[in-house]
Structure 1
Amino acid sequence: MLKVKYLWALLTLPLIWLLLLLAVSIPAVGHARGYIKVVKSDYSEQSAITSADSLNSDINRVFSIIDLPISKQISSLFGLNFSNIKNEITAAVSTGPILAGTDKPKRYLIAFQNSAEARGTGGILGAYAIVEFKKGSLKVIATGSNEPLYGSSLEKIPIDMPDEYKRLYGENPAILQNSNLSPHFPYGAEIWLALWKKEFGQSLNGVIAIDPTALSYILRSTGPITLNSGEKITSENLVAGTLKDAYKRFEKDNKARKQYLVDIMNATVKLLNSGEYSKLKMAQAIRDGIVANRILFYSTDESAQKKLSETRLGGFMSLEGNNEFRTVIQNIDAGKLDYYLDRSVEIESKSCEKDRQTQVRIRVTNTLKTGVGLSPYVLTRADKGKPASLVTGAHRFKVFIYGPTNARLISVSRENRTADLGGASVERKRPIYVADVDLAPGASEELLANFSGGVGKISFVDQPLVLETKLSIKDKC
């Protein structure tokens, strides 16, 4: 049995924590109200900066208490632990007056990424919205599927890109569907903005990317949405409904399928504008989306973009020294079989000498059991020109394994000895192993890359597809 003095300690620790938290939170509430007033009113830029700095000071004090071991346990128990997005919160506060249109209205392209067809930042742009922020208020200007945007595609990339980028991707990103081949989000965002301006003559202020999984997190906080047809979309059925079932349901009318995505987006925005949802649950949903790299933000404002680039929101591949690894899938066959793609990644230290050596293994598995019964649109093999009548369920894609900044790729191997080994490339000072993989239903393959270099603790940035990567890190250094 616990002694009385120990029991008393257990009971008083949470109380002490709560009192400390209240002591720093009460001033923060006042500063938060002042900050919101600045964002929504005609205040000078300096007033906005001062208000943001005051609120961020409060936020840092709050997190200094939340980061205490006992605090983490209590805050996690009540779903109040936001420590893993502290940098994103302070960056949002600092850039808020700029991004939210305090000085003048700001318009953004919202890119709804379809992760059933993989691209570097997640998935192909499947639907879009143009939204306007004016003094913190959100207004939807337009929504639509990707089809009307196809005319904006060009033969050459509309902005200047590094030579290494063109060696890796060629001019493919000039096509709207391929603009985000790179996992470095600013590249794709800048190309999308240039294509939009070319097609519509409008200069937008940035890009916000989101995918169906992130949207399902949001519906978890708001509750279901109801379409004009009466259909209810929930957090549980959204992902499968949009990325798998819709292809069969609208098999003979692809325009109707795309409109279905737009209808879901419109209903969600309407519910968000109503404000009829739990603010805490919404904060938790946004937190989960940011942590999973499913919510990204790019701004054409240099000062705002600099702060965003230092957080996960920016989707930024830093040129500074790091020990960061990535594995990226790029769909080649133009089908929608990435919905079924499973990835397991193991990163292990092999040497801790001056030039550290790290090994990355990735096993990719086509979890589809059979292609029979699936829509030809899902099973497309545009890479081989196979007739629609030939149903296989085989899926072809590229695997990119990225090493840290300024590291070296020293050796590679793959399980399929009959396939081409692949090759090496570089993007933003990071060595890459690139291989072409073709998997029949139920098949899998392991690919391996050894790197020399890297600074600091091993980290991994996951590409947000439908199935999350199963990750194992064995950092022995």
Structure 2
Amino acid sequence: MGSFGAALLVFGGVALVMTTHMVQAKGELEAAIPMAAAVQKQLVAGDNEAAALSARKLESHTKKAAGATGGRLWRALEWVPVAGPNLAAVRVAAVAVNDLAVNAVVPATGLSIDQLKPVHGRINLEALAAMEGTVQAANASANRASAQLARVDRAGLFGPVEAGIARLDSGLGQVGGLLDGLEKTVKVLPGALGAEGPRNYLMLFQSNAESRGTGGNPAAMVLLTAEDGKISISQQASSTDFVNARPKPIIPLDRETEALYGDKIGRWIPDMTLTPDFPFTVKLAKAYWAESFGTRVDGVISFDPVALSYLLGATGPVTLATGDTLTAENAVPLLLNEVYFRYEDPKVQDVFFAAAAASVFDAITSGVGDTGALVQQLTRATDEGRLMYWTDDKSQSKILAGTRLTGTLPTDNANATVVGAYINDNTGSKMDYYLDVTNDVTSTQCQARKPVLTGSVTLTSTINAADARHLPAYIAGVNFRPGDISTDVVLYGPVGATIDSVQVNGHKVKPSYSGQHLGRPAVKVRVFNVPGAVRKISYTMTGAPGKYGPLEVHGTPMVRPTPVTLSTPGCMQ
């Protein structure tokens, strides 16, 4: 046959073996991806039996994929031009996913989300502490797998290989996000729930019908006490229990905050949430509470009626002392609109709000409903900025740093390129129940050294003139014609950026404030909507050279969802 023929035969044999292994690895990895997603959904739903079955199937697929790519021949051929990087990428993916399956997913199925369910009003802190080691190891494995995939150079990969790696990366991100959140939870909850002694939490209940930066007017407040896993309501208060219209702010204001939001942010308790910086609101809230009641406050929580409706979707309906039945469907219209038609006296309104909060609180602490659904809805509320948490515990603060739960904007652009769009009512009314907001941003951060961001915030009045004439004075306010909505919109650019131009409905406007706040450029623009009107604020920003993470918009959580459209041409999707 000769040496040339022998070489061809050997080469053909190698090609056949490698093709067989490649097809096997591809098939096993493709089968593993949906299994990982299934395990995640089943764990969140509390179906551990189904999750364990899916995890075993996942492990079987990943072991076979790792085995198919683990031979010496495979590694040797990774040096071959063109084909080699693709072989290396498939091997790394197989090893990473197998590590995830064996050391993260399978152990995680032994955890029960029902450990978070209160029994006789108490969460089992001992069971939570016992989960920590397993969760920490599983999360470490997920981080290792993500790091391995991140090191793969995707520039020279074939289309199908690159797409497969992207799918795996996305799946790993979801699993990693779940485990990271769970690890933070099991680390923070025992201390937060009074494992080392009683803790007092001031809960602000923000009304989205009267928008403020982080949500709305915090007219209703509740003091919660947590001790040894049991939470109780210690005290309830409203904005009328504090000294408002004070001659000077309750605490000193920094120059930037006062210039942007005015000294009213520290003189009126309904205005202490004007800023998107929740820790500053906390300072104000603690000062007001100390002045009026003197009770020690160890932490502050912010919540809104929309988030409350989410929780009702998990707990089921609750009956109020008034005889009303509060459901996931009627909570928002009842608490943010109908109550003002029903009761003219603000004090009676506050009693109604307090009754609603207490009833839902009782349902949650009694363990009623689906724990998995409750966790999902709390996560949803956090992602939308409706749930925020501040604690004086430094170890907890360190664990939670950088999460949406803290109610802060990032201090750089490395992990997220954040544009802020915050809504503050200027009508002195509850008219924001009838205001819809949308956001649209495009960034050239993957195409230019100094990215250009163009975007818009659109405010739409959803009430018509005929209905506006019949609004109660408490909803319409007394400073404008019934149905009119006056709004201050505050825009924040990425760190180091400049805000170059602002227009309203195509006409250039001069912002009422232009400067810096929270280490970012900020402008304030006032717009006025008559019934049915639409106001579109358009802007252009220019970023500084540097690293830019995924594009995001942070803004005020409104009564209804705030759609966000993002575009980053040239970025890997």
Give the TM-score of the pair, scaled to structure 1: 0.84
Summarize the Cα distance change of 1:141–1:82 in structure 2 as closer, same or farther, 3 Å threshold.
farther
Give the SS at the match of 2:211. strand
| CA deviation vs aligned residue, 1:390-443 (integer Å, no higher than 9, x gap) | x43111010111111111112222227597654412211111121111110011
Q: Is residue 353 of structure 1 aligned with residue 445 of structure 2?
A: no
Which has the higher mean CA deviation after the structures are superposed, 86-95 or 450-459? Answer: 86-95
Name the residue aligned to 1:437.
527
| CA deviation vs aligned residue, 1:167-200 (integer Å, no higher than 9, x gap) | 2123212121111111111111121011111111
**Structure-1 separation of matches of 2:142 and 2:444:** 40
Q: Is residue 57 of structure 1 aligned with residue 137 of structure 2?
A: yes
Confirm or deny: 8 A CA contact 1:82 1:287 kept in the other structure.
no
Between the aligned residues of both structures, percent identity stands at 22
Q: Is residue 309 of structure 1 aligned with residue 401 of structure 2?
A: yes
Q: Is residue 471 of structure 1 aligned with residue 564 of structure 2?
A: yes
Name the residue aligned to 1:295.
387
Amino acid at match of 1:353: A
Of 23, 29, 39, which aligns to 2:106? 23
Q: Which runs of 5+ in 1 are unaligned?
A: 76-80
Q: Is residue 321 of structure 1 aligned with residue 418 of structure 2?
A: no
Name the residue aligned to 2:542.
452
- Give the CA deviation at 1:70: 8.1
- Give the CA deviation at 1:52: 3.9
**Structure-2 separation of matches of 1:328 and 1:240:** 22
- Give the CA deviation at 1:156: 3.2
Q: Is residue 339 of structure 1 aligned with residue 436 of structure 2?
A: no
- Give the CA deviation at 1:51: 7.1
Confirm or deny: 8 A CA contact 1:143 1:266 kept in the other structure.
no
Amino acid at match of 2:106: A
Name the residue aligned to 2:471.
374
Name the residue aligned to 1:364.
459
**Structure-2 separation of matches of 1:90 and 1:153:** 44
- Give the CA deviation at 1:119: 0.6
- Give the CA deviation at 1:38: 11
Name the residue aligned to 2:334.
241
Summarize the Cα distance change of 1:223–1:446 in structure 2 as closer, same or farther, 3 Å threshold.
same
Which has the higher mean CA deviation after the structures are superposed, 63-72 or 263-272? Answer: 63-72
Amino acid at match of 2:184: A
Confirm or deny: 8 A CA contact 2:139 2:176 kept in the other structure.
no
Which has the higher mean CA deviation after the structures are superposed, 163-172 or 82-91? Answer: 82-91
Name the residue aligned to 1:202.
295
Which has the higher mean CA deviation after the structures are superposed, 418-427 or 342-351? Answer: 418-427
Q: Higher RCO, 1 or 2 (CA under 8 Å, sep at least 6)?
A: 1
Summarize the Cα distance change of 1:61–1:278 in structure 2 as closer, same or farther, 3 Å threshold.
farther
**Structure-1 separation of matches of 2:501 and 2:134:** 51
C-alpha root-mean-square deviation of aligned residues, in Å? Answer: 3.5
- Give the CA deviation at 1:221: 0.5
- Give the CA deviation at 1:124: 0.8
Name the residue aligned to 1:392.
482
Size of the alignment, in residue pairs? 451
**Structure-2 separation of matches of 1:373 and 1:199:** 38
Confirm or deny: 8 A CA contact 1:110 1:210 kept in the other structure.
yes
Give the SS at the match of 2:135. helix
Give the SS at the match of 1:432. strand
Confirm or deny: 8 A CA contact 1:145 1:261 kept in the other structure.
no
Confirm or deny: 8 A CA contact 2:441 2:565 kept in the other structure.
yes
Q: When you count strand as a share of all residues, which structure comes out higher?
A: 1
Q: When you count helix as a share of all residues, which structure comes out higher?
A: 2
| CA deviation vs aligned residue, 1:294-343 (integer Å, no higher than 9, x gap) | 11101122232233231111111122235210111111121111111111
- Higher-Rg member (1/2): 2
Summarize the Cα distance change of 1:53–1:403 in structure 2 as closer, same or farther, 3 Å threshold.
farther
Give the TM-score of the pair, scaled to structure 2: 0.71
Amino acid at match of 1:362: V
Q: Is residue 224 of structure 1 aligned with residue 317 of structure 2?
A: yes
